[in-house]
């Protein structure tokens, strides 16, 4: 990460804390690594992300229904899903300073792969130094992805290879002492259900919401009268005991997911996969993530999990690098078949028209609420200039959230605290909150300062009641991004704003 990227990230983190978007969890006790709290502005942002997703993915579609399943489920669910056996991350320890790392974040290049890449890049570019750098970078990310996706024994062996691939153990980036060989670490949080703390009482906090959907697939089918193709959507908390929580809220141990399992016939699966991959990408674009920072990356065939027919990641270029926001996968009939096998319940679907009985395929778009929130925060963060009271340009920090996502939609100010201005401003504020708009009333300090505070909160519109308002019942409405000011009749402000945040 270059100096400026690091600084940018620091600024975003500082603003998030200063303005009450995100706090470290249990901060008064020194915090706890991998857990975060959302403050008054953050909770509105996060709620808006979830509401917009629910509105767009569930309410506006006639082929989708919602679900809210329990966080703790019968542990057999996690045997069937494969999580008990293979939801592992490779762990290595430093024999010197005792630091603990995820191996795939340390062991970067496997020699053979690096050589291949080098060869390919070397042929293309004529500059050896450049080719070498390019090749190493390419091999790094590719190897890491492969290791993560496959998780098989070959991958574990790969961790023993050091950066140069000459058989020596890798060294700790912190103290340069040798690292141990990798061992498997299951990321599911364990707990006990009931009064007995023995092995029969072990249960897990769910590491994904998806399995709650599979476990209820028959219930939904039998009660909702949905017919294939259709989807079940769920938003909820998930927990992973990540070895190295990092990059702010990007990788944490408690987080929220927005997941869809879309059930269809095998013959239509590829088409639905491509539909959902593109639709989910477009959703982020429509909410303001500029296309240049947002990417859609199709997985290579050898990156795919053994049950997946195809997979793509929606990735975003965060200040700390390009990382996954959401994965979309064609998971075939793997999940329902496994649950049929482990539960003994019939998971098949009967098509009345074709008279065919089969286990549906499933397409899974699986996104993280916190990662989306972080991407929207990063994208919104802008430093520009705005004129002060005297018309002189001053630097400002402004969060340019899409209006649908902005925590506060409308701020209302009386220019001064007298002559009936507060009363009119209060009336507009009441009308806004009464109609479901999140609004903010502020009468303290210079109006320029009040604008700046709303700019940092990302409020798209500010309405100011001034002397003229009392004569002709109009107010000034200022646009956060263009700084343009227009006059509107006071009783039209709320509907005008409502129109623009749809
Ligand atoms: P990663 O490679 O970053 O660990 P993953 O591929 O394991 O992610 P999935 O299991 O596909 O992630 O989970 C689906 C989505 O859930 C991810 O795209 C991400 O948005 C979110 N997610 C997963 N793990 C975390 C985490 N530790 N913190 C925050 N969000 C997460």
Specify the ligand 1 atom closest to the Cα of 366: 14
How far CA 310 is from CA of 260, 298, 331, 391, 475, in Å, comes to: 16, 8, 8, 56, 54
pLDDT tens per residue across span 231-276:
999 999 999 999 889 899 999 999 999 999 999 999 999 999 999 9
Any atom of ligand 1 within 6 Å of the Cβ of 239:
no
Any atom of ligand 1 within 6 Å of the Cβ of 367:
yes
Any atom of ligand 1 within 6 Å of the Cβ of 241:
no
Radius of gyration, alpha carbons of the chain: 26
Specify the ligand 1 atom closest to the Cα of 257: 16
pTM comes to: 0.88
For residues 87 and 148, the answer to whether their CB atoms sit within 8 Å is no
Domain boundaries, the chain: 408-500
For residues 353 and 325, the answer to whether their CB atoms sit within 8 Å is no
pLDDT of residue 130: 53
Determine the residue of 366, 367, 372, 376 to mutate for testing ligand 1's pocket, defined as the one with the most ligand atoms within 8 A of the Cβ atom: 366
Report the CATH fold assignment for 408-500.
Rossmann fold (3.40.50)
Any atom of ligand 1 within 6 Å of the Cβ of 48:
no
pLDDT tens per residue across span 432-446:
999 999 999 999 999
Strand partners, 36: 24
Look at the block and give the residue holding tokens 């004569």: 471
Specify the ligand 1 atom closest to the Cα of 240: 27
Residue nearest to atom 23 of ligand 1 (CA): 368
Joined together, the tokens standing for residue 184 give 């498997």
d(CA 244, CA 226): 41
pLDDT tens per residue across span 296-330:
999 988 788 888 899 999 999 999 999 999 999 99
Mean pLDDT of 73-101: 89
pLDDT higher than threshold 70 for residue 190:
yes
For residues 450 and 442, the answer to whether their CB atoms sit within 8 Å is yes
What does pLDDT average to over the chain? 88
Any atom of ligand 1 within 6 Å of the Cβ of 325:
yes
d(CA 203, CA 83): 12
Joined together, the tokens standing for residue 353 give 């028209």
pLDDT tens per residue across span 20-72:
999 999 999 999 999 999 999 999 999 999 999 999 999 999 999 999 999 99
Ligand 1 centre distance from Cα of residue 368 (Å): 7
d(CA 459, CA 438): 10
Ligand 1 centre distance from Cα of residue 366 (Å): 8
User: What is the percent of the chain with per-residue pLDDT over 90, rounded to a whole number?
Assistant: 72
The contacts of residue 200 (CB under 8 Å, 6+ apart) are none
Any atom of ligand 1 within 6 Å of the Cβ of 209:
no
Ligand 1 centre distance from Cα of residue 114 (Å): 27
Residue nearest to atom 21 of ligand 1 (CA): 368
User: What is the percent of the chain with per-residue pLDDT over 70, rounded to a whole number?
Assistant: 86
Any atom of ligand 1 within 6 Å of the Cβ of 242:
yes
Q: Is the dihedral of CA 75, 77, 82, 88 positive or negative?
A: negative
Residue nearest to atom 1 of ligand 1 (CA): 324
């Amino acid at each position: 990460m270059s100096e400026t990227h690091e600084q940018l990230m620091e600024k975003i983190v500082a603003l998030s804390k200063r303005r009450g978007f995100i706090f470290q969890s249990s901060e008064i006790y020194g915090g706890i690594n991998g857990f975060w709290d959302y403050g008054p502005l953050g909770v509105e942002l996060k709620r808006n992300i979830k509401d917009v997703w629910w509105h767009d993915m569930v309410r506006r579609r006639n082929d989708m229904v919602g679900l809210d399943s329990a966080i703790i489920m019968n542990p057999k669910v996690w045997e069937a899903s494969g999580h008990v056996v293979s939801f592992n991350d490779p762990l290595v320890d430093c024999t010197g300073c005792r630091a603990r790392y995820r191996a795939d974040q340390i062991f970067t290049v496997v020699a053979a792969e690096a050589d291949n890449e080098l060869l390919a890049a070397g042929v293309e570019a004529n500059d050896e130094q450049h080719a070498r750098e390019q090749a190493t970078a390419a091999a790094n990310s590719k190897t890491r992805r492969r290791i993560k996706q496959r998780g098989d024994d070959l991958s574990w062996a790969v961790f023993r290879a050091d950066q140069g691939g000459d058989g020596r153990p890798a060294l700790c980036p912190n103290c340069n002492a040798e690292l141990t060989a990798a061992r498997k670490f299951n990321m599911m949080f364990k707990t006990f259900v009931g009064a007995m703390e023995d092995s029969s009482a072990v249960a897990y906090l769910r590491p994904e919401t998806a399995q709650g959907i599979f476990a209820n697939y028959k219930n939904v089918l039998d009660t909702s009268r949905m017919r294939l193709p259709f989807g079940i959507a769920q938003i909820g908390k998930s927990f992973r005991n990540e070895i190295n929580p990092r990059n702010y809220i990007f990788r944490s141990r408690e987080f929220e997911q927005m997941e869809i399992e879309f059930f269809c016939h095998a013959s239509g699966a590829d088409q639905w996969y491509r539909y959902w991959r593109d639709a989910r990408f477009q959703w982020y674009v429509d909410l303001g993530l500029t296309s240049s920072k947002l990417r859609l990356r199709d997985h290579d065939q050898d990156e795919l999990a053994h049950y997946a027919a195809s997979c793509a990641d929606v990735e975003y270029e965060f200040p700390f690098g390009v990382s996954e926001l959401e994965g979309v996968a064609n998971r075939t009939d793997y999940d329902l078949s496994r649950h049929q096998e482990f539960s003994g319940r019939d998971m098949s679907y009967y098509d009345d028209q074709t008279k065919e009985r089969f286990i549906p395929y499933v397409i899974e778009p699986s996104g993280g609420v916190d990662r989306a929130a972080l991407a929207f925060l990063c994208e919104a963060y802008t430093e520009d200039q705005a004129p002060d009271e005297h018309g002189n340009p001053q630097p400002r920090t402004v969060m340019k959230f899409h209006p649908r996502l902005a925590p506060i939609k409308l701020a209302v100010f009386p220019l001064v605290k007298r002559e009936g201005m507060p009363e009119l401003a209060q009336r507009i504020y009441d009308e806004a909150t009464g109609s479901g708009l999140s609004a903010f009333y502020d009468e303290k300090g210079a109006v320029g300062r009040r604008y700046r505070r709303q700019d940092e909160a990302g409020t798209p519109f500010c309405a100011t009641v001034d002397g003229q308002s009392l004569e002709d019942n109009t107010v000034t409405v200022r646009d956060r991004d263009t700084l343009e000011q227009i006059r509107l009749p006071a009783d039209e402000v709320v509907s005008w704003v409502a129109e623009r945040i749809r």
